[in-house]
Structure 1
Amino acid sequence: MIIEQLFQVFKEVAETNNITLSAKHLHMSQPSITLQIQNLESEFGARFFDRTNKGVTLTKEGEIFYSHVRRVLEILKDAREQISNMAKDERRLVNLGATLTIGEIIIPKLLALMSKNHPDVEFKVKIANNDIISQDVLEKKLHIGLIEGMIFQYNDLNVDKFWEDELIVMIPHFHPWESRNTISFEELLSERLVTREEGSGTKKIMETILQEKGLDPVRLNIAMELGSTQEIKQVVAAGLGITVISELAVRNKDDEKLFKIIRFNEGPIHRPFNILTNAHVIQTQKEKAFIKLLHDYEVMDRLINENDLESEKVLEDCQENKGKGPMRQQYC
């Protein structure tokens, strides 16, 4: 496409601020690039570049044109990708992103289940916090993102709830609160708190809840910010603080020996688990099957809430199509 080639030339010059360097990158001659820029300027009746001995810089008109050119080229790229995917109806590699709790607890079981019926599809998984996963879906680096809690930017993103989680307070058994089953939000402010890093869903929802209760999140006595659930558990077990964590992350027998679970007397804190997809990208059939699995409450309930041995039984039932209700051949 001639117009696309012209736009590519313009974009390259705008980003390098150098016609010689652009010619090298595009494997074109300098006169050819200069001529194409002149043709664009003539077509739109505006000067897009100021030319000096040191190179070129965008004019105000050029900056406006540059923003539109980027969008046009991105749209064309998306169109090619979607048409290609529809033609093949296949994308062997699915780039999947998940936040920590989902990645550690749910993803391994989900992928094992998917592999029973779709062994030809490979999943590449990235574990990161909400902010990173959301941005990667927006930038189309990830095909599907699974995050904890809500996000505050919905532009260009489809956000779809697939599960709900409860946040609890986790303390070591030798903590003064060991005999209690509930505490207040106000009491939480007086304790040394071990949290996830900035951008995590758990931390964001806690700050939101405190604000809703009229409490300033700045009052939280955050002793440490750590990047994994296991690190947080080790620090809490050593008595260096307490934490607010997913109830799903404190379920095995070893955890029962080390920790006490306490809830809030103002009521439970629930947060959604959400599916993120880019609003401008069409999912392949395999990606749609994966999303459909996430929405199957019966299967998800068994995978999430039953122990490892029972989860193996879920996989066996799927393999033999013994599941009840909608437990089924499209992904089982």
Structure 2
Amino acid sequence: MEQHFLVFKEVAETKNITLSAKKLHMSQSSISLQIQNLENQYGARFFDRTNKGVTLTKEGEIFYTHVRSVLDILMNAKEQISALSKGRRGLIYLGATLTIGEYILPNILAYLYRNHPDVDFKVKIANTDSISQDVLEKKIHIGLIEGPVPRHKDLNVEKFWEDELVVVLPYFHPWASRESITLAELPHERLVTREDGSGTRKVMEMALKERGLEPEQLNISMELGSTQAIKEVVAAGLGITIISSLTVRRECDQKIFKSLKIQDAPVYRPLSILTNAQPNAQSAQSKDERLLIDLLHDHRLLSNILSKDYNELDSIE
């Protein structure tokens, strides 16, 4: 029966029996026969057939919703059984956007590895749209994203951290003796930013505009495609930048950088957890996935984890 459901789902999504046959490595006649058997079994026509392909009937749309749920439950059961057969190791499919993936997730994974060594992770680093789509399609079970969150009825969004954007400059800069800066002072220095269209830059420009500073007023001298590239340029004294405080914590401790708060209008952006909101997806969450989500919501513990170097994580209670 599972094979029939898989065939039905593929045809419903491709809307084409020929294409479904190629993807499933089956003959078109076998595909058609399995669809016909399902329709006979349930006493309903699931597809309207035309020369251009097939489309779901109203009965087919109802059946498609239930077939997806059944296949998701069976897939989760297989994963849990597989984990048991491989020595009871857990597996979490996780996605993260770039800043989280590079500067937050490594500490979290290192902490979990030390305290729960029987859990493995498969991690994808990508942009917000890609992570959101994978959560919707259940290719990953938990997504961690920064900044604006896409709205979708099948997405659960939970904020787990507020990330402050700060002004970062080299420790030899004349402003390095200060703790804060005003918005009015920003246009007087060369600014190094992410490329136009990046999430970090969007958040920065929207926040500054809301506080009365138009992006056109900034003296942007360089645009770069990664946070690490920006840090290298700023360390060389070629400008200042506005980036996540989490990305420069170590360099500030080492007195390579000095971070300044924006005193008259601090800028924060949310870091959020994305999970699939469909009831069967929520009920299918494993204990290891819930462990990770609970950790992210434990602000005290998470703060300790993010403030430590890797070799200090063993000391966290």
- Please report the TM-score for the alignment, with normalisation by the length of structure 1: 0.72
- The residue that corresponds to 2:223 in the other structure is 224
Asked whether the 8 Å contact 2:46–2:57 carries over to 1, the reply is: no
- The residue that corresponds to 2:5 in the other structure is 4
* CA spacing shift, 1:14–1:91, aligned 2, 3 Å: farther
**Secondary structure of 1:96's partner?**
strand
- The residue that corresponds to 1:195 in the other structure is 194
- The residue that corresponds to 1:287 in the other structure is 289
Q: Quick check: 1:57 aligned with 2:46? A: no
Superposition pairs of residues 23-172 of structure 1, within 5 angstroms = 25=24, 27-28=26-27, 30=29, 33=32, 48-51=48-51, 56-58=52-54, 71-84=65-78, 92-172=90-170
- 1:33 deviation in Å? 2.2
1:237 to 235, 238, 245: 235
- The residue that corresponds to 1:275 in the other structure is 273
Q: Which runs of 5+ in 2 are unaligned?
A: none
Report how many aligned residue pairs link the two structures. Answer: 304
* CA spacing shift, 1:25–1:150, aligned 2, 3 Å: closer
Q: Percent identity?
A: 39
**Secondary structure of 1:252's partner?**
helix
1:302 to 300, 304, 308: 304
**Please, what is the CA RMSD of the aligned residues?**
4.0
Letter in 2 for 1:298: R
**Secondary structure of 1:155's partner?**
coil
Asked whether the 8 Å contact 1:130–1:199 carries over to 2, the reply is: no
Deviations 1:265-300 (A, max 9, x none): 323222332222112213101111122222223322
